[in-house]
Amino acid sequence: MGAPTDSFGAAILAGMRYAWGQPAIRASLLMVALLNFAAFGPTVVGGALLVERRFDGGSTLYGLMLAGYGVGALVGGLGAGWLPPIRRPGVFLALLLLALGVGMALIGLAPAFWMVFALQALMGVATGVVSVVAISWLQGRTAEAMQGRMASLLIFSAVALDPFSNALSGALSEWSLTGLFVGAGGLMLLGGLLALLSRAVRSAS
């Protein structure tokens, strides 16, 4: 077996150049990054504070909230395999991002824990569907030689901004816990609207 012709760094740069040169792939990676940035910190940091401050709960209630999201994500991921073929995956993902934005904002306004639990479960379902559809769509549009690099970029997009999301969420929660969730939801809504305005996203099949 011959030695690889590209170094690790050169392979990464080649994958980034490829992704940036494909408008639909670029837009989908940005949507994934935005979704995780807007959702991770508010859910992990803001969720704990929401349970404590608004519902006078502790670790059990917080665990239930996260469990609702996790079960929803499992259902969404499994159910995505039963969906009929999606003619415009880019539009579908953008609409799901809009729905997640509405859900995140409503969590910040919810007066009862059962509402937060239900919203988290529904958002988990949507996120599970997004994960499956986004990966399938990206892999289907990516040249065979770039499949591994696109998978790496997708994972990187999903986790790279998590520490910053946590730090910002902690700071914003000291200002307004409701504002944290409403602001995160507004960011998702903005991302979904910008994606729908993208011709590459609307026309991608």
CATH number (domain holding residue 158):
1.20.1250.20
What is the percent of the chain where pLDDT is above 90?
43
What is the reported pLDDT for 169? 93
Please tell me the predicted confidence (pLDDT) of residue 61: 94
Rounded distance, CA 2 to CA 134, Å? 34
Please give the pLDDT value at position 83: 79
Find the domain containing 81 and state its range.
27-203
Number of domains in the chain: 1
181-196 per-position pLDDT tens digit: 999 999 999 988 988 8
Residue 22, in any domain of the structure: no
CB burial class (10 A; 0-12, 13-18, 19+) of residue 113?
A: middle
pTM: 0.85
Taking residue 39's Cβ as centre, other Cβ atoms within 10 Å add up to 23
Dihedral sign from CA coordinates of 43, 45, 46, 48: positive
Residue with token string 């599970």: 128
Contact between residue 83 and residue 67 where contact means Cβ atoms under 8 Å apart: no
Instruction: Express each pLDDT in 136-171 by its tens digit.
Output: 777 777 777 777 777 777 788 778 888 999 999 999
Assigned domain for 17 exists:
no
